[in-house]
Structure 1
């Protein structure tokens, strides 16, 4: 079956092709390859695709992409999150004592990471677009693996802070970079589930990281390296090895995929392009106006603020779950405490995939923020209302069930609210930049003098989840209102006199654009 057989035109949709798009040609069945070529838009002026795709061919292609792309980036992100959060496991194994830390020194160590993480978020994702994710993602993976390895040999707090700063700089490009990379391959509705398949590695990193740390700590030494230093040594070496393998296996974009036939490459490009209103190329050159509108976008900014509040909880769990478990079960051994951090993460991982799977099938994202916020609120109400160990341990499950799912939802949502590749690279970087401001707040959410029940930290997380509920509902109502307002606009009149280049730069200001709740 050729791409010409897989894709057929919709003559009814072609009748609404606007005169203001001179480069758009009426695509005949035998010339369907033009839909994937530069210089031809694959939508009408209302964003409706002018071609239709064979669903069976799409499903076969999507499955092939799933098998070849998702496992590699998921494994890299697993060790990205392990290398970030293993400091919590090392803390239980004596890191603070060996480095002479006291008071709020541990919080300072965590904060240093997020300062560089925030600063390098946007530059990293623009660099990812410039160099190509097939090269950039393995490079930064090797970098943060080397930083994790370096933590095994620090002897005082300033050195540890320096390594953590570099770790943040390298890891800044991972979540937005992988999300952007996947957007080159998947439709808008499909993207949320695929993002969840790599972000699910965050809670799994908590579970697997606890198990791995327990196993490593059962060793007496690795050469001259002892105790908590062995955690950083082993995990850093594994990360560096995986990054070198990914350099040879990670395909940059459909055009360079040796494992796709020419017909499959054409289909892969054309179906992504069919959702890009007025765009004549899938991977455009970086355009300043598009980049700016990828940031200055009401839906992107609102979603990014939601992710900011959500990340207070996510990063707080990553860094402080071992500490929280230790306060619930203070008489347990260090290894047993590590093992008790595993079950909440496993349950959280299941729901992090389940909720985005529902989002994919319904092609809705905004509405799912509501149950996420409500379940997180329930968990922190339990923390605040009870001192019973069983209740407080159960609360960790409620927070893990809900909060991790917001990562793929927010990244998919900001990707869906822009049109061009340039704007998408910026919108994803913006979401992560705001999110990691929340991560910076999280490093100060659980302070030693607030223990063992941590009412301030738990109260902060309750307030954050409440804000998520308010913002998500308000944004959903605004999207629906603005879409109804746009329905009354005469698109053809608004586009009169504009060149194709000017139309492509309109982004969300295009009169035919509709928000995707």
Structure 2
């Protein structure tokens, strides 16, 4: 069974007809099981599942490994400062009081500023070139941190690191949305975002191994962590220039028929859209930024990132307060099990999210797992109980990166709106990251009741917010069902450009929770 032949433009003979405002599929070449499309782009049949499954596996093998490895070292380069802190960074740089928190905060200032512009640049330049380029940049910047000698230099390098890393998380999510349908996207996002908790585990092991060396070139102690991990990132980013494929049409590992099929299956669920990659467009950009579901989801990511990034930056410190008598290397290694456990739970949650094509429900579940962890932190000083609490926090919180970006991507139509929506979501998330840098203050130690109370409050708010969002989406879909006929009548006088710019306001569009 060969994939459906699909054209990116409507034949000239049909150009004057309103029915030509959708992607044209040659009926004589349409295989059984391919989607027939309504006038405004809504699929009424499913694609052939066997052919789609084969294509999806092929895409998985070529796309996921590269972006996963890049994000692994992106996360390590961002959070290895927590490991370096245990190894004398504060003493060597003369950091006192809140200086460490200031150095962490500077990273998020640039991260937030450059988030949306970076994702727009990723769309214009193409992720196949843009993602390896920024990865190369933050690898070099990580190496540079090994040679800072005071707080001013540390803040300058961390600001540059934030500007470069700003494009990675939303850029990869946007890139993968070019290849996967919205129901499939969450698990594929998970396969690279799980590198976050894995990076926490692997970073602890790697830091322990590096610290066992006497020196690396002219670097010693914590300096070696940045030098060695930065060099690894530089090497991987250079390889990515050759392995990262920009879009289906440029994939040398797909046959012409597979390229057409890859494009067709994405377009089959984009209501009112006639092109896979549109030009940058202001109305659609604004549709992505001000999408009500996307904005609410962005607030959810803001709240959960206080937990996620707080855990990433302060878990080594928290472990040190729980096990103060252990050696530095042992304390580093004790950060590994919570992250490892969290990685398995994240994969499980996102797999069920993919199979059930639901995201909002699993966000509610995630925060429900986190809440008992912070209750334990607040209720007891027992070392083993508090260590178990770190497992609950890691298990419930790390799935949100995939769930929130997939939900924002699923609730817009065009490529431009998707790029803007994902960038907005991650920008809000990093505001949460900025807050997290001040959630565990020295004066609050060793048990950090203020930081733990803050995280308990944010996760409780997430549970309430996601429940209300799910209810609103169901109610608004029912409203759209009632108004569908009137909406289609209004489209009779609309131009193709006006229909495209409707995006999620199109009468055939329905929210996906």
Query: TM-score normalised by the shorter chain: which range applies?
Result: over 0.9
Q: Which moved more, 1:405-414 or 1:364-373?
A: 364-373
Distance 2:236 2:362 in 1: 34
- Report deviation, 1:21: 4.0
The 5 Å alignment of 1:354-369 reads 354-369=348-363
Q: Counterpart in 2 of 1:233?
A: 227
- Report deviation, 1:4: 3.9
Q: Which moved more, 1:428-437 or 1:485-494?
A: 485-494
The 5 Å alignment of 1:425-444 reads 425-444=419-438
Distance 1:434 1:43 in 2: 36
From 498, 502, 505, give the equivalent of 1:506.
Answer: 502
Residue 209 in structure 1 maps to residue 203 in structure 2: yes
From 8, 21, 24, give the equivalent of 2:22.
Answer: 24
Q: Secondary structure at the match of 1:478?
A: helix
- Report deviation, 1:496: 2.6
C-alpha contact 2:23 2:275 (8 A) present in aligned 1: no
Q: Counterpart in 2 of 1:421?
A: 415
Length-normalised TM-score, structure 2: 0.95
From 275, 278, 282, give the equivalent of 1:284.
Answer: 278
- The C-alpha deviation readout for 1:436-457, integer Å capped at 9, x for no partner, is 0000000000000100000000
C-alpha contact 1:44 1:277 (8 A) present in aligned 2: no
| C-alpha RMSD of matched pairs (Å) | 1.6
From 473, 487, 494, give the equivalent of 2:490.
Answer: 494
C-alpha contact 1:24 1:42 (8 A) present in aligned 2: no
Q: Counterpart in 1 of 2:12?
A: none
C-alpha contact 1:128 1:137 (8 A) present in aligned 2: yes
Q: Counterpart in 2 of 1:373?
A: 367
Q: Counterpart in 2 of 1:90?
A: 84
Q: Secondary structure at the match of 2:349?
A: helix
* Cα 1:23–1:508 shift into 2, 3 Å: closer
The 5 Å alignment of 1:33-72 reads 43-44=37-38, 48-49=42-43, 52-72=46-66
- The C-alpha deviation readout for 1:366-395, integer Å capped at 9, x for no partner, is 111111111111110010001100110000
- The answer for unaligned runs of 5 or more in structure 1 is 8-18
Q: Counterpart in 1 of 2:321?
A: 327
The 5 Å alignment of 1:436-455 reads 436-455=430-449
Residue 168 in structure 1 maps to residue 166 in structure 2: no
Distance 1:96 1:26 in 2: 62
Distance 1:159 1:26 in 2: 57
- The C-alpha deviation readout for 1:398-431, integer Å capped at 9, x for no partner, is 0000000111000000000000000000000000
Residue 3 in structure 1 maps to residue 3 in structure 2: yes
Q: Counterpart in 2 of 1:10?
A: none
From 380, 393, 398, give the equivalent of 1:386.
Answer: 380
Distance 1:157 1:25 in 2: 56
Q: Counterpart in 1 of 2:95?
A: 101
C-alpha contact 2:182 2:406 (8 A) present in aligned 1: yes
Q: Counterpart in 2 of 1:180?
A: 174
Residue 352 in structure 1 maps to residue 346 in structure 2: yes
- Report deviation, 1:498: 0.5
C-alpha contact 1:494 1:511 (8 A) present in aligned 2: no
Q: Which moved more, 1:54-63 or 1:129-138?
A: 54-63
- Report deviation, 1:507: 1.0
C-alpha contact 1:113 1:167 (8 A) present in aligned 2: yes
Residue 461 in structure 1 maps to residue 455 in structure 2: yes
Distance 1:27 1:331 in 2: 69
C-alpha contact 2:41 2:274 (8 A) present in aligned 1: no
Q: Counterpart in 1 of 2:11?
A: none
C-alpha contact 1:4 1:32 (8 A) present in aligned 2: yes
Length-normalised TM-score, structure 1: 0.94
From 303, 307, 324, give the equivalent of 1:313.
Answer: 307
C-alpha contact 2:288 2:421 (8 A) present in aligned 1: yes
- The answer for unaligned runs of 5 or more in structure 2 is 7-16
Q: Counterpart in 1 of 2:241?
A: 247
* Cα 1:333–1:25 shift into 2, 3 Å: closer
Residue 266 in structure 1 maps to residue 260 in structure 2: yes
- The C-alpha deviation readout for 1:450-481, integer Å capped at 9, x for no partner, is 00000000001001101101110010000000
- Report deviation, 1:110: 0.2
- Report deviation, 1:49: 1.0
Distance 1:351 1:147 in 2: 32
Distance 2:413 2:398 in 1: 26
Aligned residues: 499
- The C-alpha deviation readout for 1:38-93, integer Å capped at 9, x for no partner, is xxx97425753156422111111000000001000000000000000000000000
C-alpha contact 1:276 1:420 (8 A) present in aligned 2: yes
Q: Secondary structure at the match of 2:94?
A: coil
Residue 515 in structure 1 maps to residue 511 in structure 2: yes
- Report deviation, 1:28: 4.1
* Cα 1:240–1:484 shift into 2, 3 Å: same
Distance 1:498 1:167 in 2: 46
C-alpha contact 1:4 1:30 (8 A) present in aligned 2: no
Q: Counterpart in 2 of 1:11?
A: none
C-alpha contact 1:45 1:512 (8 A) present in aligned 2: no
Distance 2:431 2:39 in 1: 38
Q: Secondary structure at the match of 2:324?
A: coil
